[in-house]
Amino acid sequence: MLAFLTSKVGLYLIGAAAVVIATGLVANHIYQKGKQAERQAAIQRSVTALRDRGQINNETARSTAEQLCRALGGVPNGTDCE
């Protein structure tokens, strides 16, 4: 067995195995970095959505029924919005 590993073919196989392992480690590292970046982006989107929601709630609370109807694309018709 030791003679095979020290032969030319054995050394090529060991080299190929080392390349496969190194490639796997690099791919895993890149995957983890991407996963972390996506988590950070998701958190940033959530914070932005919460901030925007507060602003929208304030604007909605200050609007009249007619203004809300128009903002939603409707046409005020007395007390209804069509």
Residue 10 lies in a domain: no
Cα distances (Å, whole numbers) of residue 42 to 20, 31, 50, 66:
33, 16, 12, 36
- The count of structural domains within the chain is 1
Residues belonging to the chain: 82
Q: Is residue 45 situated within a structural domain?
A: yes
- Which range of residues forms the domain containing residue 50? 31-70
Please check whether residue 12 lies inside any domain of the structure.
no
pTM above 0.85, yes or no: no
User: Tell me, what's the pLDDT at 56?
Assistant: 87
Inside any domain, residue 48: yes
Listed in sequence order, the residues at least 6 apart from 69 whose beta carbon sits closer than 8 Å to its beta carbon are 75, 76, 81
Give residue-wise pLDDT tens across range 21-45.
999 999 999 999 999 999 999 999 9
